[in-house]
């Protein structure tokens, strides 16, 4: 089995997932980078390895139970129970309610909420048997406090992540597996920079004006908190979803 601690991260090819993979790599973990984006995921793994870390890329669509189960089984056969699982893969497409189809609603839930469920369902039995482990699920301020117009499916799915975290934390607590969430605020990433689906560059710049810290966040600032939640420093913490937003929720009147 692995002497290094192991971490599986979904949606690790870009944005917060990419920063998280690199943070765990720098911290000495064996990093399993997963994404549907093959080129981007391979690049992240290569950068971790070139920096002296240990990483490998595996293409993974979290909508596929078969793919998730097969990858987890392969990792566990080689390295045993995972130490950390980060459920980060997600989409945020702008769709007004009048144009919302069942298919679009289900697609968002299938990735943003059920994708986390699938990965945890696959990894939890071995983690629980080992009596250790940490799961971190990525929600959003749009799932814990704010409504987001024309993103009802996204907000609902991200609110569901919070409920999933609470329920699984209680279910796993007696067996030494912790489950926490993180709710990022406005973070500079491909998602928020999209003019079609989010704020776009100009809107993101304007958002900084009403954030108490005076700026939007960087993916690395979310990654560092995820790394903390996975660490022994957070050993008595479970069932919580931590907001990381530069003071936005407490400071906007």
Alpha helices in 11-113 (DSSP H): 15-26, 38-50, 65-79, 102-112
Determine the Cα–Cα distance for residues 54 and 33; give it in Å rounded to an integer. 10
Determine the Cα–Cα distance for residues 153 and 41; give it in Å rounded to an integer. 27
Pair 115, 106: CB distance under 8 Å:
no
User: To 5 degrees, how large is the angle CA 3–CA 6–CA 2?
Assistant: 25
Residues noted as catalytic:
154
- Chain centroid offset of residue 95 CA: 22
Determine the Cα–Cα distance for residues 15 and 190; give it in Å rounded to an integer. 7
Q: Furthest-apart CA pair in the chain: how many Å? A: 53
Alpha helices in 88-183 (DSSP H): 102-112, 114-130, 141-144, 152-172
């Amino acid at each position: 089995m692995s002497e290094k601690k192991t971490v599986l991260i979904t949606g690790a090819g870009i944005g917060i997932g990419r920063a998280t993979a690199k943070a765990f790599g720098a911290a000495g973990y064996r990093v399993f980078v997963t994404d549907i984006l093959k080129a981007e995921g391979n690049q992240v793994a290569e950068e971790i390895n070139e920096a002296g870390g240990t990483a490998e890329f595996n293409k993974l669509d979290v909508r596929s139970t078969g793919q998730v189960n097969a990858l987890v089984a392969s990792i566990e056969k080689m390295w045993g129970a995972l130490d950390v699982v980060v459920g980060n893969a997600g989409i945020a497409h702008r769709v007004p309610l009048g144009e919302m189809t069942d298919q679009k609603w289900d697609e968002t839930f299938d990735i943003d909420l059920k994708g986390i469920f699938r990965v945890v369902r696959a990894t939890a039995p071995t983690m629980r048997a080992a009596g250790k482990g940490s799961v971190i699920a990525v929600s959003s301020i749009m799932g814990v406090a704010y409504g987001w117009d024309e993103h009802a499916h996204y907000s609902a799915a991200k609110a569901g992540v919070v409920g999933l975290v609470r329920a699984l934390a209680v279910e796993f607590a007696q067996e030494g597996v912790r489950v926490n969430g993180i709710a990022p605020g406005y973070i500079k990433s491909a998602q928020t920079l999209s003019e079609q689906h989010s704020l776009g560059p100009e809107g993101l710049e304007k958002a900084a004006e009403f954030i108490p810290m005076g700026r939007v966040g960087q993916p690395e600032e979310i990654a560092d908190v995820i790394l903390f939640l996975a660490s022994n420093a957070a050993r008595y913490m479970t069932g919580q979803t931590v907001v990381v937003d530069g003071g936005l929720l407490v400071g906007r009147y």
